[in-house]
Structures are given as C-alpha cells and as structure tokens.
Amino acid sequence: MKRSLGAATLSLPSPVWVIGSFDAQGRPNLMTVSWAGICCSDPPCVAISVRKNRLTHRNISTTGAFTVNVPGCRHLAQADLIGMVSGVVADKFATTGLTAVSSELVNAPYVQEFPLNLECRVLHSSDLGSHTQFIGLICDVKADEAVLGRQGVPLAGLVQPVLASAPERSYYTLGPQLVRTATAGKALQPDQPAV
Amino acid sequence: MKRSLGAATLSLPSPVWVIGSFDAQGRPNLMTVSWAGICCSDPPCVAISVRKNRLTHRNISTTGAFTVNVPGCRHLAQADLIGMVSGVVADKFATTGLTAVSSELVNAPYVQEFPLNLECRVLHSSDLGSHTQFIGLICDVKADEAVLGRQGVPLAGLVQPVLASAPERSYYTLGPQLVRTATAGKALQPDQPAV
C-alpha cells in the first residue's frame, strides 16, 4: 500500500561531502553538503547545491572554484561540526584541527586528512530557489594511497564514506559490498537477438 | 601520502535509482542512474543525468516528466538488469516483472514494487557533454507503508537502498545507522559567543 508524502525531498541515500573554498582574502572555509552528486562523465563533473546565505556560496561565486572532500566514518564528528557552525563566526579548519592544502589546479583548498579530494572549477551555476547548484569540472582527484586498491582506484571499503538519510536526519555507514554492476541482472536477462 | 588520479568521476558513494518515463506512444520504460541527487529544498528538486543516446533521454525530452524509483536490496537483480539492456530492444517492465503505475500528477510511470517513488516534472535541462542533466520538481513522493517510521518518514533501515561505488563498478548495501545530524559534532563545537 502506497502513502502520499507530499512534495518533499524525501529520497535517500545522500552523500556527506565537505566543500572547501577560499574567500576573497584567501581564507579557507568548509561546508558539509548532502544535495550533491556526480553529474557528467565527459567532461567529468560534479554538482553541489548551496544555500544563498552561506559563506561558501559567496566564496564559490567569487573564486569560481571548490573542492569536494569525502570524509571517512572516522571523520564524522568533524564533518558534522562543519555542518553545524558558520564560517562567518568560526575558522572551521582551526576548530576541527583539519589541514587546508591549497590546490595547485584551482583556487580552493582541500582537506589533507580526508581520503578523497576532487578539485573543481565552476562551469555553470543555476539558481533553483533556496539553493544554487554549482556544476564543477573535476580537474583532478587526489586520494590517500591507503584507500587505493591494486588497480589504483579508491575502494569504498577503505574510504568508509558517511551517508545521510535526509528523511531521518541521520548518518549511516556504508554496508558490505554486494556484486559488481552488470552481474546480478544476468539471471533475468532475456535472450539477445542475433546480430 | 596523496596520489593524483587525474580528471575523473572517482567519487563515492552514488545512489542507485531507477528512472521511469513514457515514450510518445505512452509505453513505459525504465533506466538505472547513479549520476543523480537531490538538488534543492524549496522548491523540492532532484537532478538526474542521462546520456543523450538513451531512450529515457528522448522520453523525458518529449514528456517533460520522470519518476525516481528507489529500489531496495531485494530488487538488486531488477535494478541491475534495467542498467544492462536498452528499452529500445526490451520491454523492461515485462522482463523484470515490475508493475508500471501511471502517475496522476506527471506524465510518467512509477514502479509499484519499489518502496519510494518521486513523481517529477522537468524544470530545467542542461547539456553538460556526455550527459544531459534534468532537474525535476518533486510533485509528490509515494512510499510503501511498510518503510515508514512512526513519524511518517521513510526509514533507510527499512528501505534498504542499494548504493554504487562507481570507481569499483560495484553495488553496496547501506550499513548501520550512526547518529542523528548535528550531534556528533557537539564535542568539537567551540563556545558560542553571547548574543
């Protein structure tokens, strides 16, 4: 039986990503977002949505750049705090003890301690209402050696990303790996027509 | 030690959502996406990215509507198959045994068996390169009664959504609930200035 829940953002899961940006004076700031996701393969792009009254909104609008930093579960307290206080009143790098590294590719800082860092240059921005969506070209991905598998790609089991369930306002861990894509469906796959 | 992985979509995690659409003749189709996420709170909007050669791209461009259907882990084989075959050659509802329900709000079908369904009307579309990003206004959310908590919101532990690790091309489950947002960070929070 289906129940109607109204016009609301009641989907899940959402990522928990921390956005790095510089203000006009080069001071680094951080912000936690969940309204975000990869949005294009070629060129590689990521979309993040930011409320207009946020310092990060002003920073990205000024610099045209940001980083996406993926925290592991061990960084949950820091990622949560970054979402609780404004960079207008607190230096979030100082408060969390995290280290800002200036990207050599874009005008934004990334978080040294987080296992995955995407360095992004803004290609588009769209005013959607409460939020502006910034679409960033991923200029490079930096990863801790410790989270890379033998093929040189980051493994979710090592990154241990945090997830959000927005309807519950709660954090979750990632669970066990199931199967590779394009495997589980084979049992249901119809016979292919001869070509 | 950080390693540079180049300009690539090597972030995680990503959702595994199934998009429902009608073609010009009203035939329903399904497509699995991972380049997607909620993108605005007010109005409530969701963004999905679709390659231009996909039937779903043509359908959404024609009808101006789509649904986002969140599969549970028990629907993994169906969601995976939907990502493996084209709706041009296969009726994916027939192949998977899933049931198409015509939305009464938008011109798109949703999946009866999946626990969460977002009915969306296209507000914007952007050509980003390989993918077009469609931003849909969430007109209603339908949820199975069985996945709702006492406060009437969907619980991740009951929905049991599937996640994707794009770098590994693998599916994951959601793990245990950690804490509510704005709790874990309190231990690190600086004293608030008196107002």
Pick B184's closest partner by Cβ from A76, A124, A156.
Answer: A76
What does the alpha-carbon distance between residue A53 and residue A43 come to, in Å, rounded to a whole number? 29
Domains of chain A: 14-188 (2.30.110.10)
* DSSP classification of residue A154: B
> Residues 6 or more apart from A165 whose CB is under 8 A from it?
A12, A13, A14, A171, A172, B155, B156, B177
Cβ <8 Å between A9 and B38: yes
Tell me the chain B residues in contact with residue A81 when contact means C-beta distances shorter than 8 Å. 184-186, 188-189
Give the model's confidence band at A171: pLDDT under 50 very low, under 70 low, under 90 confident, else very high. very high
Mean pLDDT in residue range B17-45: 98
Mean pLDDT in residue range A164-182: 94
Min distance B190 CA to chain A CA atoms (Å):
7
Min distance A108 CA to chain B CA atoms (Å):
16
What does pLDDT average to over chain A?
95
**What local confidence, expressed as pLDDT, does residue B189 receive?**
81
Min distance A142 CA to chain B CA atoms (Å):
5
Which residue of chain B comes nearest to A117, CA vs CA?
A: B11
Residue type, B192: Q
**What local confidence, expressed as pLDDT, does residue B193 receive?**
53
Instruction: Report residue A158 as tokens.
Output: 């090592």
What does the alpha-carbon distance between residue A40 and residue A56 come to, in Å, rounded to a whole number? 23
Residues comprising chain B, all counted: 195
* DSSP classification of residue A23: -
**What local confidence, expressed as pLDDT, does residue A193 receive?**
54
Min distance A105 CA to chain B CA atoms (Å):
11
What does the alpha-carbon distance between residue B169 and residue A89 come to, in Å, rounded to a whole number? 41
Tell me the chain B residues in contact with residue A142 when contact means C-beta distances shorter than 8 Å. 2-5
CA dihedral B48, B130, A109, B181 (to 10 degrees): 10
More confident residue, B89 or B5: B5
Mean pLDDT in residue range B55-65: 98
Instruction: Please report the ipTM that was assigned to this predicted complex.
Output: 0.95
Q: Which of A134, A114, A144 is nearest to A66 (CA)?
A: A134
Residue type, B57: H
Question: What number of H helices and E strands is found in chain B?
Answer: 4, 13
Q: Which of A8, A175, A48, A88 is nearest to B162 (CA)?
A: A175
Are A45 and B10 spatial neighbours (Cβ–Cβ below 8 Å)? Answer: no
Pick B153's closest partner by Cβ from A10, A44, A128.
Answer: A10
**What local confidence, expressed as pLDDT, does residue A156 receive?**
96
Q: Is A70 exposed, middle or buried (0-12, 13-18, 19+ CB in 10 A)?
A: buried
What does the alpha-carbon distance between residue B181 and residue B163 come to, in Å, rounded to a whole number? 20
Residue whose structure tokens are 């068996």 = B113
Residue B195 has pLDDT above 60, yes or no: no
**What local confidence, expressed as pLDDT, does residue A89 receive?**
87
Q: Is B61 exposed, middle or buried (0-12, 13-18, 19+ CB in 10 A)?
A: middle
Tell me the chain A residues in contact with residue B78 when contact means C-beta distances shorter than 8 Å. 185, 188
